Structure 1
Amino acid sequence: MTKAIGMIETFGLAYSLVVADAMLKTADIQVVTREDVSEVYYTIVIEGEVSAVQMAIDRGVEIALQGNALMSYEVIARPMIDVRRIIPMKG
């Protein structure tokens, strides 16, 4: 069962990859998907324990702010199962 879901939306493909890399190096989380919101906006969805997801999102926000690439972010602790079902899955 997923303890938390985190989402971070960035401006630019390059920063979405840099942010994902930093989050994965910061905490024990998994990337669920990277959604292309538009030609320039990308949302990265992660999951894991609440504290790990929060730590990873905090780091992702820090990195995205350095490049003026942060659009929005959120952490949902203990999401309802229906929330997980609406997340687009890659693969």
Structure 2
Amino acid sequence: MPDAVGVVQTIGFPGVLAAADAMVKGAEVTLVTYAGAESGQYFVAIRGSISEVEQAMAAGLDAVENQAVGASVLNHYIVANPPENIVSVLPLEYTEADEPFR
């Protein structure tokens, strides 16, 4: 079964940084991608087992809402069992740079 994917989208860079930090510290997940968009929106995506992704997402959302001043969560979502075609099209695949952290 493929690893689950969790995504958090925030307004403001401090929010996405707080989410990413809390997620990788809060559970055994790998940060696989991060990107910025217009209007100060950012997102970060993690992968791991569904139980670890759920735990990491809870930690990340809590960090944005309670620790990152001026930041807010726009959206968040967990894909428990992503099909291979999504992983091959979107930037969610593990890369060589990710391997030391898995």
State the TM-score bracket (shorter-chain normalisation): 0.7 to 0.9
**Matched AA of 2:26:** T
Q: How many residues of Structure 1 are paired with residues of Structure 2 in the alignment?
A: 91
C-alpha RMSD of matched pairs (Å):
1.9
Q: Residues 65 and 25 from structure 1, CA distance in 2 versus in 1: closer, same or farther, beyond 3 angstroms? A: same
TM-score (norm 1): 0.88
**Which residue in 2 is equivalent to 1:74?**
77
**Residues 33 and 44, structure 1, Cα contact 8 Å, conserved in 2:** yes
Q: Which AA in structure 2 matches 1:5?
A: V
Q: Aligned ranges for residues 15-34 of structure 1 at < 5 Å?
A: 15-34=15-34
Q: Please, what TM-score do these two structures have when normalized by structure 2?
A: 0.79
How far is 1:37 from its partner? 2.1
1:28–1:52 contact (8 Å) kept in structure 2: yes
Distance 1:88 1:35 in 2: 10
**Matching residue of 1:9:** 9
5+ residue gaps, structure 2: 98-102
